[in-house]
Amino acid sequence: MARPPTRAPEPSLESLVSRSLGEGAPEVLIELLPVLTQDLADVDQRIEQVLTSTYPRLTDAAHYAFSSGGKRLRPLLMAATARALGLTSTRAILSLAASFQLIHTAALVHDDVIDHAEMRRGRPSLPSAFGLPSSIVTGDYLFVRAFELAADYPRSIILRCGDSCADLVEGEVLQEAGRYDLNSGREHYYRVIERKTAAIVSAALASIAEIAQAPLPVVEACATYGTALGIAFQIRDDLLDVFGDPDLLGKPLYTDLREGNPTLVSLEAYEALTGRDKAEFARLFSLRRKSASNLARLRALCEATDAARRVSEEATAWASRAVRALETFPPTPYRTLLEWLARGAAARRF
């Protein structure tokens, strides 16, 4: 089999930042575009410095995984937080931002292994391109490199990184324990996404505040902002998995329905359905192998309820919590950016 390309065409960093800002961004945010683009370029450069292995295939796989890393939202949030807290340069946070981006990338690799995902961001996933054994090893390699980067920082920050990685693993175990169980409930769902998605954002931004020598209430505000934004982001992600545009998402729909992962969408739909529709939804959801018609029917049953509206409103409520956490920040364009990104996490289409 021919070796997959080590680097696939991807949007420029300026394009990634522009997409993160979204349509209708105020002029004050557009003016930040050159600075933010350079911040992301500096983080990417720091990552490139640690990806090379003695073994070319591992190097290729690591680069392939990293170039599938998506929107770079985490380093963008970290850079914006640092500047919102008064840092005039991101030099002090580059290794940390690179570390958290690699942790995120490693988690995506392992997710694709677990979910048997064939596509990631519009191209073959790492397991499809390099095989399962190489993908598992590559995910491990990225975690190791992430902690190599984190070693530049105080013990408190390294421990926070470690805790967020432990949360990722616990979230995956919790998700597996609840598969195919629509009675697992909202509390279980929130325990999963707090660990799998929100914890790493919260830890990253709290660490930035610590580096900026912010007082404890501001460190805690950053953690709260990260948690709330991460939850809003994941709720929206789960909604898009059912009702999104696969071309914009760069991956097929219905991953959670196919794999039997209860999300807020399926839980709300199941609760709202009655009689035969409810029984049919439960039966189809519990199938270990689902056909395209099974998945289409599950979506149709979701559409027959107001689940999409309720879930969207819940994501918006979490985004509002994130915005409120920033009230102690000085009123700068970077605070405005953080507020805008929080609201965008609950309204994005990709």
Per residue in 126-152, pLDDT (tens digit) is: 999 999 999 999 999 999 999 999 999
- CA-CA distance, 188 to 194, in Å (whole number)? 10
Could you read off the pLDDT of 143-192 as tens digits, one per residue? Answer: 999 999 999 999 999 999 999 999 999 999 999 999 999 999 999 999 99
Q: What is the mean pLDDT of residues 310-339?
A: 97
pLDDT digits (tens, 9 = 90+) for 10-35: 678 888 888 888 888 899 999 999 99
Token pair for residue 167?
Answer: 């949360």
Q: At what angle do helices 155-177 and 94-115 cross, to 10 degrees?
A: 20
Q: pLDDT > 70: what percent of the chain?
A: 97
Q: Which CATH number fits domain 45-345: 1.10.600.10, 1.10.3720.10, 3.40.50.150, 1.10.10.10?
A: 1.10.600.10
Provide the pLDDT for residue 217: 97
* Mean pLDDT, range 217-225, rounded to an integer: 98
Q: Which residues, other chains included, contact 229 with Cβ-Cβ below 8 Å and sequence gap of 6+?
A: 77, 198, 201, 318, 319, 322, 341, 342, 345
The answer on pLDDT for 311 being more than 90 is yes
Nearest to 286 by CA among 211, 207, 180, 133: 180
Distance between CA 229 and CA 295 in Å, rounded?
Answer: 29
Q: Tell me the per-residue pLDDT of 256-310, one tens digit each, with 9 for 90 and over.
A: 999 999 999 999 999 999 999 999 999 999 999 999 999 999 999 999 999 999 9
Tell me the backbone φ, ψ of residue 7, rounded to 5 degrees: -135, 120
In the chain, domain spans: 45-345
Nearest CA to 145 among 197, 105, 195, 91?
105
CB 258 within 8 Å of CB 297: no
